[in-house]
Amino acid sequence: MNKSELIDQIAKEAGLSKAAAGRSLDAATTAIAKALKKGDPVTLIGFGTFYVGKRAARSGRNPRTGATIKIKAANSPKFRAGKALKDAVN
| pLDDT value of position 23 | 97
85: Cβ contacts below 8 Å, ≥ 6 apart: 46, 47, 48
Query: For the segment 4-51, what is each residue's pLDDT rounded down to a tens digit?
Result: 999 999 999 999 999 999 999 999 999 999 999 999 999 999 999 999
**pTM here?**
0.81
Residue 24: alpha-carbon gap to chain centroid: 16
**Contact, 51 vs 36, CB < 8 A?**
yes
Q: Band the pLDDT of 89: cuts 50, 70, 90.
A: very high
Beta-strand pair 48-55/42-44: antiparallel
Q: Quick one: average pLDDT of 59-88?
A: 95
The DSSP code sequence of 3-38 is HHHHHHHHHHHHT--HHHHHHHHHHHHHHHHHHHHH
Fold of 41-90: HU Protein; Chain A (4.10.520)
Q: Where are the domains of the chain?
A: 1-39, 41-90
How confident is the model at residue 72, as a pLDDT? 96
